[in-house]
Amino acid sequence: MLVGRMLGKLVGFSYLDESTNWVNASDFSKNASNILVGFGALLGGIPDMRIERAVASFAGGVFVFGLVITVCFLIGVFCALTKVIKQSKNAQTNKNIMFLLVLLLVSTGVLFFMAPYGVAEYYSVRYLILPVQSGFILLGMFIESLNEKLIVRKVGTLLLFTSIVCMDLYSDYFLSAVDNNVLKYDEALGLIETTDANLVYFWDDGKELLYIEKLLRVIDDTRVYKCISKGNELESFGDYNYYDDSKDYSGATVIVTPKNSSVVPDVIINQYKDMGEIGDYKFYYCKSNPVDLKSITE
């Protein structure tokens, strides 16, 4: 990693983890609990933060299958750890299990002491993908080590298999039932394309426009999209940094805000023409670029 960073610096790379901090004493317990709960959330056994699901509802009942997967996962990891400890006393440690355990424990342990983006109310469970992958292999090795005649192996494997199938079917159903056009991205893009603007700002005060901005920057590679949240915070998400200093661009621009929002300073928005509304979004057009992102963010 150090060699990679040094080589990267030579060619001018910047790194997202330069903003990573050590977890301080006041946030340590919260960060640790986020990680422990994160395993359950990632495996579908616990509803994610700020999501409410009634136990007796269809969407709530699906978490039973995720809970089975989570419990099996934890049992497999615990048994693998116990087995390695016992074997180490006789110097007969299974190197494959040891490797997977080290991968799981170290990649999880690092997150106990570091906060990639700060200790927030919402924890990004994607940080746990690597340890979960290791854990699933350990779970498979644990099941294989059990005697085939044991009832617990037969019942446990059946429960696990059924849960994985049901979770997969539910995710397919969810994708087919949910209309992603609730974001109105195609209508929004259609309106933006009626202008000569090559720079589009999505400006809000609470990351309300985060998803449509990230979606449009993927769909439309003919324009540069910038997300300004919390009134003055530029969000780059580790991808392109074109016009982070917006003085570099002097052409026409579009500003998109949440409907009924007055987050954009008057000295800027008064230079824009109202283009109307689509869904929950309000659109403004200006033939120039009166936005100074560098001044705002500093």
Average pLDDT of the residues in 17-43: 87
Cα separation, 52 vs 33, whole angstroms: 19
Looking at residue 183, its pLDDT comes to: 77
* In contact, 285 and 275? CB cutoff 8 Å: yes
* pTM for this model (two decimals): 0.67
* In contact, 236 and 297? CB cutoff 8 Å: no
Looking at residue 2, its pLDDT comes to: 84
Residue 221 contacts by C-beta under 8 Å, 6 or more apart in sequence? none
Looking at residue 93, its pLDDT comes to: 79
Q: What angle do CA 285, 286, 287 make, to 5 degrees?
A: 130
Cα separation, 293 vs 199, whole angstroms: 12
Domain extent listing, the chain? 2-177, 182-297
Per-residue pLDDT reduced to its tens digit, 55-81: 999 889 999 999 999 999 999 999 999
- Both tokens of 170, joined, read 């539910």
Q: Which residue has the higher pLDDT, 205 or 19?
A: 205
Average pLDDT of the residues in 236-252: 83
For the stretch 20-25, contacts whose Cβ atoms lie closer than 8 Å and that sit 24 or more positions apart, written own/partner, are 20/114, 20/115, 20/116, 21/114, 21/115, 21/118, 22/113, 22/114, 22/115, 23/112, 23/113, 23/114, 23/115, 23/119
Q: What percent of the chain has pLDDT over 90?
A: 45
